[in-house]
Amino acid sequence: MKLLVCNIGIIFILFFVTGSYSGAEEHGRAYFEKTGDVIWDIKAEEKVIALTFDDGPHSVYTPQILDVLAKYNAKATFFVIGEHAKKFPHLISREKNEGHEIANHTYTHSYSNQDKLEEELRKTDEVIYNITGAYPLFYRPIGGEYNERIVNTAVQQGFRVIMWSWHQDTQDWKRPGVNKIVSKVLSGARPGDIVLFHDAGGDRSQTVEALQDILPALKKEGYTFVTVSELLQRTGIEVFN
């Protein structure tokens, strides 16, 4: 089911990219990093890492993940789907109350054109604001797909686009096994990483179990787990409110 949803989302995005922006010069990571509009990871001197979770909240796995984070005093950023947040507002409130950051991951995990993306972002913004009293600062594109129009649409609505470290995509949605998730994170860990996990979209029991190994291991190495906002602030990047 997760694979089907992801494929549908990517099809929509490809239509958005090729249909709405055909013939235009496309820019890559280096260009967007220079603009400061898109972040993949940060060069940091301190041993700080930002854990991020997509597609939630989920009634079962999000509370379990929050329990593990609390156990190790780890803060994270949750890129939430608006319709899920509306269904489980108490989990969004818990994330906020426990010091985590809430970010925008669209309302339905799909969009087909610029107007639809604007609507998806706006609806999720309103849901998050109605629960937390604050609008999110960050947006993560579905499947990590981006182009100038997607980025500009997000920026015009006040977002900075947050991706993830290419070497820290756990691919936990594929359920590759706890050991593989743990090994992926620990073997590549470096200061300033943004790590991609999922707390919804399918069975996330492997993610929960992997976190119970990852967090104490990285803490032993001297790492601190911070929100995306704190990661940017600690490395001298301005965070706009």
Of the candidates 159, 167, 163, which has an alpha carbon nearest to the alpha carbon of residue 145?
Answer: 163
Residue 159 DSSP class: P
Distance CA(103)–CA(105), nearest Å, equals 7
Instruction: Write out the DSSP string of 34-99.
Output: HHTSEES----SS-EEEEEEES---TTHHHHHHHHHHHTT--EEEEE-HHHHHH-HHHHHHHHHTT
Q: Which of 41, 54, 193, 199 is catalytic?
A: 54
Amino acid letter, 11: I
**Quick check: is 199 catalytic?**
no
Q: Within 10 Å of residue 222's Cβ, how many Cβ atoms?
A: 9
Which residues, listed in sequence order, are joined to residue 104 by a DSSP beta bridge?
80, 139
Q: Who's near 212: CB < 8 A, 6+ residues apart?
A: 68
Instruction: For residue 198, indicate whether it is catalytic.
Output: yes
Q: Do residues 142 and 10 lie in contact, with contact meaning Cβ atoms separated by under 8 Å?
A: yes
The label of the residue with tokens 């995005």 reads 13
Contact, 121 vs 142, CB < 8 A?
Answer: no
Catalytic residue among 84, 100, 105, 198: 198
Q: Annotated catalytic sites, by residue?
A: 54, 198
